[in-house]
Structures are given as structure tokens and as C-alpha cells.
Amino acid sequence: MHPIVSKTQLSPNVTRLVVEAPRIAEIRMPGQFVIVRRGPGGERIPLTIADVDKSAGTITLVIQAVGKTTHELTSMNVGDVITDIAGPLGNPTKVLESGHAVCVGGGVGTAVVYPIAQALAANGVKVTSIIGGRSKEWVICEEELRACGDVIVCTDDGSYGRPGFVTEALKELCEAGGVDEVYAVGPVPMMRACSELTRPYGIKTTVSLNSIMIDGTGMCGGCRVSIDGKTEYACVDGPEFDGHKVDFRQMADRLTTYREFEQAALARWTDEHPQAHS
């Protein structure tokens, strides 16, 4: 059992939950994730470990409410208990040892890129984070990332930071030179755009893939992705891969496989819990 000890609303549909999970907190590395099940009979979903506090025995989960299960989780409150949290799973981030790294976060991906930026800064690497959102209220983890280095904020409507997409700011840094590696985490189109942008500059680009995942141990095959023409599994071979080798088109198609069922499940849950949207 994993009690929730803190809950914070980061943006209109993104919530930060701090939960007790001392054994996971003790050994987690940046880039790793957990499989969470809210309660008996619940769906198993992967969530990145955004932060840990070893002394308190807690891990931080940043959750975007998009489907039934994520809405259930973000509707929970301090004192409520998550039944199962399995992890840490996946391979830790291969962090640059020196030089200049650019961390690009789109939406909830900003929370995923934060522990990477922490690890880079701890290595003495110069870190520049580029984060984006539709408008100011959708920008998350800005202050946390400022503790790791420079931050460039982009908003689609120009209401905060600089107007435009994160890729525009990334292009400027690439053109200026001196970037040794890019870590990009966010929606598939954004990671794909970042990877295509850095390709002609020969800048290594690491992406974290949010494939459909069930067991997290490579047995179900749901998270399979095509990397340089070879089938690999995001849960055990990743979740991070060379963005220049990922077949993003295939991945985007696979993410829509169960969309009709996901929408129907969310609609039923919404009808049963109208107070969650009041």
C-alpha cells in the first residue's frame, strides 16, 4: 500500500502526487519508471518517477489526466492509498559526463525531463532546458529546472516567455553551436520534430518513449517499437532511445490502437463521477 502524502495541481490537467514507496525511492535512477495500479481490478499504467526523497521514503509522480485511470489517480487526495506501485523499471538515463546538454520538455514531458536535468547538473554539465505549453498556466516545473541551469520558456499563444514552439528555440541553440546532446520528452510529434531538427547537425538526441505498456517486463509485447528497423521493447530496452533511429510514424499509429475503448471508458467514468468535473 502506498499512501499519498502530498498533492499539487501543476496545470489544468497535470497533478503532482508524492507517495510513500521507500524501497523504490532508495534505488531509483533518473529515467526509470513505475507501473501503477490504483486498486484491485484497476488498469496498470506506466508513470515516470519525477523525483524522490530517500530520507522521507517518497517518490513523486506527475500525472496528466487524459484517460479513465489517470482521471481516477488525479482525483485521489492526501491520505488515499494506491494499492500497487511496481518498480523501478526500465534503464536509467545514460547521462552526459561533460559539455552542454539541452533538455526539451513538452507538456507533462517537462516533468520527465526534470530528473535528467538534475543528473546532468550533478555531473557538472551545462544544462539549458527548453519547456513549452499552450499558455502560461500549462507550463510546469520551471522553477525546479532553473535550479539545474538556464531555462527557456515557450508558449503557443505568447502569454509567457517567448512565443512559438520549443523546436524554434532548439533550432537557435543548434545553429549557435556547442550543443553536445539533446534530451527531448513530450508528445510524439514534438519528439519527432526535435529529432529531425538535430539530425543535420549531428547532435545526439535521446527521447523517452511513452508506448502502450501493461506489465513493464517485456512479456506482453504491447510497448514494442521499431528502432533502426529492429523491434525493441520500451519497458526493458528503453524507455529511452536514439531519436534518430525511432520509427515515430509506427509508434504514433500503435498509440491509437485502443483509443475508441479508452474514450468509451472515460465517458463512463465521467458519467459516474460528475463531481470530478464540476
pLDDT for the residue numbered 131: 95
- 169/133 Cα distance (integer angstroms): 13
DSSP state, residue 94: -
0.85 cut: is pTM over it? yes
Q: What strands lie across the sheet with 44-53, from one edge to the other? A: 81-82, 2-11, 14-20, 58-64, 44-53, 33-37, 84-89
* Segment 76-98, tens digit of pLDDT: 999 999 999 998 999 999 999 99
* Segment 218-258, tens digit of pLDDT: 888 888 899 999 999 988 998 999 999 999 888 888 777 76
Q: Which CATH number fits domain 2-89: 3.30.1540.10, 1.10.760.10, 2.40.30.10, 3.40.50.300?
A: 2.40.30.10
Higher pLDDT, 206 or 222: 206
The SS3 assignment for 144 reads helix
Residue type, 252: A
Q: Considering the chain, what is the average pLDDT of its residues?
A: 90
Residue at grid coordinates 528503453: 238
- 35/76 Cα distance (integer angstroms): 17
The ranges assigned to domains in the chain are 2-89, 100-255
Backbone angles phi, psi at 130, to 5 degrees: -115, 115
Answer whether 48's CB lies under 8 Å from 94's CB: no
**Region 100-255: CATH code:** 3.40.50.80
**pLDDT beyond 80 at 265:** no
